[in-house]
Structure 1
Amino acid sequence: MNKPYDVLVVGELNVDLILNQVDKFPEIGKEVLADNMTLTMGSSSAIFASNLSTVGSRVAFIGRLGHDNFGDHILASLQSRGVDTTHILRSTAYNTGATIVLNFGEDRAMVTYPGAMKHLTLQDITPGVLQKARHLHLSSVFLQSGLQQDIVALFKGAKDAGLTTSLDPQWDPAERWDIDLPQLLPHVDVFMPNINELKAFTSKDDLTAALDAIKSFARNVVVKHGSDGAYLWNGRELLHQPAFLNKDVVDSIGAGDSFDSGFIHKFISGAGDQACLEFGALTGAINTTRPGGTGAFESLALVKTIAATSFNYSF
């Protein structure tokens, strides 16, 4: 049965105020300078959705925004990349979320005001909406307190409706990591933490031990490992994909989300595990060539040009 959406993205929505070329880390009571500032659509979920749409998947989004200028900016940004925003809810009671990002080379520090995003609930994601999509993706569950307690029900409902599923948990600001993975992961086709998140979830010090801790109840586990590339445990073997290295990184904001978009684009097309890893690594690297999470994904033509000129890769 043909469905209108390849991927339904459930997640947080906020703008990013990015300060680049900060001369040193701020201290209480002191002021530092940044040489560059960018205001752009942020949030892991929105970056994922936008870039996934750019590379060719049909994408719809469910989330919450305030009735404010930041919310207008996010809606316009998603719509300009072809994302269906019909199911995004707007509130007069809460402001749109915002993240202040301080960039230091390939590392960064962030402060986030959640705003409307934390008031999205399971009741906002109706069975009728799920039936319109082939795949469900959720990012940043710890920023969405209204949804977190029902995450198992959400993924079970998606699987019962015939969707494939993926989850990028992102960092837990409270560092409690209080998600019941043995109950959740059997309903998640692709679990997509980075190495630090996986270690935190499992209280293990290395990749092998962390994977061993969840293998018995996980399906596919994709682990993003920065310049070391990415790994995939598929239930049979551990695959590795080297990173596409960019010697002139502008910033790494959204690189993991862009990796997710490339991986899931290939996954829903039925590509093999290694092909999914490779395209994910490519889109993650392409992300680092422009500021913000979506700057390098203005169009498919631009993505292909960057792939060819910066990474000698054609598709």
Structure 2
Amino acid sequence: MARRIAVVGSINMDLVTQATRFPQPGETLLGEDFVTVPGGKGANQAVAAARLGATVTLIGALGRDGFGDQLHAGLRHEGVDLAHLRRLDDQASGTASITVAGGENQIVVVPAANAGLMPAHVEAARDAIARADVVLVQMEIPLETVDATLRLGQQLGVPVIFNPAPARPLPAEWLARARYVTPNQHELAVLLGADPAEDFRTLMRRAPGPVVLTRGGEGAWYREQGEPRHQRGFAVEAIDSTGAGDTFNAALAVFLHEGLAAAVRKACAAAALSVTRLGAQRGMPRAGELDAFLAAAPSPRP
């Protein structure tokens, strides 16, 4: 039976420029390619979960503009339930300007309509959230909407995976309401008000609840109780890391019913596959691709 995933989050059009290197401040640099690609952490996680076989509802907001029309059509094409997607007359749709060089990226996000996603919209989707097996939420939407999602998930007994990106310091009780918090090392340090240079395993022990910590090509570390455990990453040729974290979070939600260790392994594999293609959503694997990738047993990184 397909897992039911509710995603509360942002929807952006990604404006992706590919270059040989990143420009210095004040420098004009000739790029190699430019594409517009659907993105936004909420939409990315919704699409990734749908491609992995889940039934997905997205709670988000778009403007009534050309980008909004394209993004709406793309999400519908991916099979995402848009009953709780709002179209706002007084806002443009969100955008992210992304420069890709050497397999890494730099991103500037303009939230626009995403800033109009309010707690009332989450409450209006109460029934969809109550029916979900897992809820995903990130931080490209207003903080009060993130809080409302965490509170509603806790109230309804639905596990919430909280991806705290872009990170900022938060009250410990917010983190405690999530079933899992999924930062990278820098984000976890920001959340806890700690030194980013501090050992990440120490930071994980200090967190007020279970943590699944992503570390790029190294894989992921996870802790519910006791000592953090490591899932090694999978060796691939990276083209574009945009959307890898979103693919990881979606896969974690889709496979969580198999147990945390199995879900983290599949999430690492899905994220590895996603970086082999340009563009956040373009690179997201389908269930069959993930199954074939895992069956081939690529060597984990040492």
Same fold (TM over 0.5): yes
Aligned partner of 1:91 among 79, 88, 102: 88
**Contact 1:261–1:283 (CA under 8 A) maintained in structure 2:** no
Name the counterpart of 1:250.
239
Are 2:265 and 1:288 aligned? no
Moved segments of 4+, more than 4 Å: 302-310
**Contact 2:10–2:60 (CA under 8 A) maintained in structure 1:** yes
Name the counterpart of 1:129.
128
Superposed CA deviations along residues 262-297 of structure 1, whole A, max 9, x for unmatched, are: 111110xx2122211110100000101111112133
Cα deviation for residue 221 of structure 1 reads 0.5
SS in 2 for 1:85: coil
Q: Percent identity?
A: 23
For residues 220 and 299 of structure 2, the distance between their equivalents in structure 1, rounded to whole angstroms, comes to 19
Are 2:161 and 1:170 aligned? no
**Contact 1:286–1:307 (CA under 8 A) maintained in structure 2:** no
**Contact 1:102–1:110 (CA under 8 A) maintained in structure 2:** yes
The 5 A counterparts of 1:1-315 are 6-20=4-18, 22-126=19-123, 127-139=126-138, 141=139, 143-145=140-142, 148-172=143-167, 177-180=168-171, 182-202=172-192, 203-204=194-195, 205-214=198-207, 217-218=208-209, 220-246=210-236, 248-267=237-256, 270-297=257-284, 299-305=286-292, 311=298
2:83 maps to a residue whose letter is T
Cα deviation for residue 305 of structure 1 reads 5.0
2:39 maps to a residue whose letter is G
SS in 1 for 2:54: coil
Cα deviation for residue 207 of structure 1 reads 0.6
Cα deviation for residue 32 of structure 1 reads 0.6
Superposed CA deviations along residues 214-258 of structure 1, whole A, max 9, x for unmatched, are: 1xx21x200000122100011133211000111x21110001111
Superposed CA deviations along residues 27-71 of structure 1, whole A, max 9, x for unmatched, are: 444321111222111111111110111111111000110011111
Q: TM-score, normalised by structure 2?
A: 0.90
For residues 299 and 23 of structure 2, the distance between their equivalents in structure 1, rounded to whole angstroms, comes to 39
2:267 maps to a residue whose letter is G
2:220 maps to a residue whose letter is A
Note the residue ranges of structure 2 that are not aligned, 5 or more in a row.
none
For residues 303 and 278 of structure 1, the distance between their equivalents in structure 2, rounded to whole angstroms, comes to 11
Q: TM-score, normalised by structure 1?
A: 0.87
Cα deviation for residue 156 of structure 1 reads 2.1
2:244 maps to a residue whose letter is A
Q: 1:238 to 1:28 in 2, by over 3 A?
A: closer
SS in 2 for 1:41: strand
Moved more, 152-161 or 11-20: 152-161
**Contact 2:274–2:285 (CA under 8 A) maintained in structure 1:** no
Cα deviation for residue 304 of structure 1 reads 4.4
Moved more, 293-302 or 104-113: 293-302
**Contact 2:270–2:284 (CA under 8 A) maintained in structure 1:** no
Q: 1:160 to 1:286 in 2, by over 3 A?
A: same
2:201 maps to a residue whose letter is T
Aligned length: 295
Q: 1:150 to 1:61 in 2, by over 3 A?
A: closer
Moved more, 294-303 or 74-83: 294-303
1:261 maps to a residue whose letter is A
Q: CA RMSD in A?
A: 2.2
Cα deviation for residue 23 of structure 1 reads 3.0
